[in-house]
Amino acid sequence: MKQVFLEKDLNKLKKYININETPWKWDKEYTKKTLKYIKYIKWIPWIRMIWIWNSISMNSWTKESDIDLYIVSSKNRLWLVRILTTLIFQILGIRKTWKKHEWRFCLSFFSTLEWMDFSIFKISNDIYLYFWIIYFKPLLSYNNTYELFIKKNNSWANFEIYKNTIEANKKNIIYKWNKKTTNSIILNKINIILKNIFEKKTKLSYKKLWKPYWIIISENILKFHNWDIRKKISEKIFKNS
C-alpha cells in the first residue's frame, strides 16, 4: 500500500518544525539569491534539475539558515556535476563552510536521473520525507525531470491530495527546456576518474562521523547532510499510534 499522510498529520508535523504555507520576506530573498547564482551552473550540460529543499522550501527561514540544494545529473555524470558545481560555488565564495553557513549554499545532495526514487532511504512512518518531497521548490528542470521525479516517488507514496501544491511547485521552475542526451566514452572515463579521486576523501569523512544512516555515498547518490531529524520526528508524532 502506498504511503499517504493526511492534513491532520501535516498539522502534527507543523508542531515540531515551522512549516508555513506562504514564504516570509527572507524565504523570498533566499530564493532570489538561488536564482541569481544557479545562472552560473545552469550551463553545465549534464545537470537535469536543481531545487531548494529543507527550511527555505518549507518557508521556515531562521537567521542561521543556509540554502540546501538538490541537484540531479544525467547518467554517468554525477561526479562531473558535483565537482564542477562545487568548484564554481567555491570560486564565487558562496559555498557553505564550517565557520560560515548562513546565507550560503549547502551542496549536500546529488543524484542521477535513475536514482530519484527516495524509497531507497525512507524509514518507517517517514512523514518528514513525504512532506519534504511535496515542499521541494524546483527552480530548474530540463526534460520534465521534476514530473519524472514525482512519478518515480509515486511508486511508494500517494501525493494525490497534494496535487495542487505540486502543480504550484511547477510554477517556480524558471529554467526549463529539452536537452539532447549524448553518451561519451571519454566523459564516462573522466567521471570515473573524478569518482576515484574524491570518493576516498568523502568516505573517510563518512567513517569519522561513525557512518550515520542518513549519509549515502554510491554510484548514483551523494547525500551528505550533517543531521537527519526524520527518526526523531516520526517517533514523536507516531509514538502512540
**Mean pLDDT in consecutive groups of 10 residues from the start of the chain, 241 residues:** 92 87 83 95 96 89 85 96 97 89 91 95 93 95 96 96 94 91 91 92 70 81 84 86 58
Rounded to the nearest 10°, the torsion over CA 173, 178, 184, 188 is 20
Nearest to 143 by CA among 96, 192, 198, 181: 181
What CATH class does 7-238 carry? alpha beta
In this structure, what DSSP letter does residue 76 have? T
The structure's pTM equals 0.93
What is residue 54's predicted lDDT score, i.e. its pLDDT? Answer: 86
User: How is the chain split into domains, by residue range?
Assistant: 7-238
